[in-house]
Chain A
Amino acid sequence: MLTQFGQVLIFMIIAAGFVAVAFIAARLIGPKLPSKGKNSTYECGEDTEGDTWLKFNVRYYVIALIFIIFDVEIVFLFPWAVVFKEMGLIAFIEMAIFLIILILGFVYAYAKGDLHWDKPRPVIPALDRQIFKSEI
């Protein structure tokens, strides 16, 4: 008798088989004519400029850190949610305390501006003279 997860495994193996067959078929059928220009990194037809590992906004890290905190919180909430109906009021009060602490943390992160992303300020090129003068 297969366990339920055994069936999931068979499902995944068949899906992986499909992917492998598609890749191998593409390899066998498709042409292979590599050239220097074709294999260069795409940058709108120009030669690549500088390093790929460019600097990016540090906020991505902050978001990832806050995400981990809240994800762990949700992990704690799942078992609570399953037994909530059986345990009744005690479960509610316990989780209320837990949630209040975390909501305080959320409010702190919010007030500190860690969740804030700057609005882009587009620079509109200024003209020193008016091209089309209004008639009126």
Chain B
Amino acid sequence: MPEWLIDILITLTKIVIVEGVILTAVAYSVYAERRVSAFTQNRIGPNRVGPAGLLQPLVDVVKLLMKEDIVPAKANRLVHALAPGISILVALSTFAVIPFGDKILLAGREIKLQIADVNIGILYILALVSLGVYGVTLSGWSSNSKYSLLGGLRSSAQMISYELSMGLAVLGVILINGSFELDTIVQNQFGWKWNIILQPIGFLTFLVSAFAETNRTPFDLPEAEQELVGGYHTEYSSMKFAMFFLAEYANVIVASSVITTLYLGGWQFPYLQTFGLPDMLVSILQVLAFCGKVFLMVLFFIWVRWTIPRFRYDQLMNLGWKAMLPLALANLVLTAIILTLFKT
């Protein structure tokens, strides 16, 4: 086989495996959300389909496929169909640059456990996160319904407000590492040097902004049920609704992976390389460490949703502009000062 064909085959295999794993994880995070919410509210939750309800996501997909796709007569049909597609595509595509492991040696060939080691990884992630606003805004506009429009408006204002503090928080990490490459950032977080220890304020601002960007409680005003029915997806049904739903959970998983990569050491497990284990085992353990960290972050997202009540809109905007933005700026200036004073 020629060399280029092998390269393409390896890439394709990696992509198919990663996308399969993400979609399964998204389906099961819906299940996890329902189980954890039931546990929090002292209910049982879905437990009938399969052992402990583990087949519930499959049945849900079949149910959503069998539903009628209702498009309101007044809606703009093209944009109405396009919006959920944009949402889910943007959420999934972010995964293309996240490193989920170190290199492994397989049949004499070095395979990087990351789909594309783009040299502007962080910019790519931030760009795609900004594109996510389009899906929500377009769905709110095209449905031609008051609830949708208000939900879309709120959501776009909220997302752009918190995008600023997110970008500023990331700048602290870039200052320390001097690189946009996610792989380099993870490599630099060996031992105890996780960025959460070096950048505690940055971590906090990034975490809060990530919650706001994914429209999760306590920032879920775009779909506040009591005032806006379903928010921007009021007029959606069947697979289009499912796509918005999948996009929400895909965003949660993406946000968890980005937080893990930037602040929690990515696939690094402290001092694992010094134990003298075989290389293959170390690589597998590192991938497992990454998955474990992401799993814990997703659980944290769910835990927060069922514990903390929703903000009022003025509280949300005040927090974003008057607390998060100055805090992120202060963190940036502080990091720059410390780096100038204590040059290593």
Q: What residues of chain A have their CB less than 8 Å away from a CB belonging to chain B?
A: 1-2, 4-5, 7-8, 10-12, 14-16, 18-19, 22-23, 25-27, 29-34, 36, 38-44, 52-54, 56, 60, 63-64, 66-67, 70-71, 74, 77-78, 81-86, 88-89, 92, 95-96, 99, 103, 106, 110, 115-120
Q: Are A29 and B339 also in contact (CB < 8 A) when A10-B11, A42-B145 are? A: no
- Indicate the size class of the contact surface on chain B: 35 or more
| Residue pair B160, A64 in contact (C-beta under 8 Å) | yes
> Min CB distance, B136 to chain A, in Å?
14
New A-B contacts (20) at CB < 8 Å, excluding given A39-B70, A40-B72, A52-B149: A5-B118, A7-B11, A7-B115, A10-B11, A11-B116, A23-B240, A25-B239, A26-B240, A29-B65, A30-B239, A41-B72, A44-B229, A54-B146, A71-B160, A71-B163, A74-B164, A77-B332, A81-B174, A82-B179, A89-B340
Query: Which of A1, A63, A118 meets B161, CB within 8 Å?
Result: A63
| Residue pair A31, B71 in contact (C-beta under 8 Å) | no
B318 is an interface residue with CB less than 8 A from chain A:
yes
Q: What residues of chain B have their CB less than 8 Å away from a CB belonging to chain A?
A: 4, 7-8, 11-12, 15-16, 18-19, 23, 64-74, 81, 85, 88-89, 92-93, 95-97, 115-119, 123-124, 143-147, 149-150, 153, 156-157, 160-161, 163-164, 167-168, 171, 174-175, 178-180, 229, 234-235, 238-240, 242-243, 312-314, 317-318, 321-322, 325-326, 329, 332-333, 336-337, 339-340, 343
Residue of B with least CB distance to A23: B239
Give 22 A-B contacts (CB < 8 Å), ordered by A residue: A5-B118, A11-B15, A11-B19, A11-B116, A15-B88, A27-B69, A30-B239, A39-B73, A41-B72, A41-B73, A60-B153, A74-B171, A78-B180, A84-B336, A84-B339, A85-B175, A85-B339, A86-B178, A92-B340, A96-B333, A106-B329, A115-B321
> Min CB distance, B12 to chain A, in Å?
7
| Residue pair B174, A31 in contact (C-beta under 8 Å) | no
Question: In the bound complex, what is the Cα–Cα distance between A106 and B64 (angstroms)?
Answer: 47
Residues of B within 8 A of A14 (CB): 15-16, 19
Residues of B within 8 A of A117 (CB): 313-314, 317-318
| Residue pair B145, A43 in contact (C-beta under 8 Å) | yes
| Residue pair A42, B235 in contact (C-beta under 8 Å) | yes
Residues of B within 8 A of A99 (CB): 329, 333
Query: Which of B65, B85, B149, B153 meets A19, CB within 8 Å?
Result: B85
| Residue pair A41, B144 in contact (C-beta under 8 Å) | yes
Residue of A with least CB distance to B15: A11
Residue of B with least CB distance to A102: B329
Question: In the bound complex, what is the Cα–Cα distance between A108 and B67 (angstroms)?
Answer: 53
| Residue pair A43, B164 in contact (C-beta under 8 Å) | no
Residues of A within 8 A of B23 (CB): 18
| Residue pair A84, B175 in contact (C-beta under 8 Å) | yes
Query: Which of B89, B179, B234 meets A15, CB within 8 Å?
Result: B89
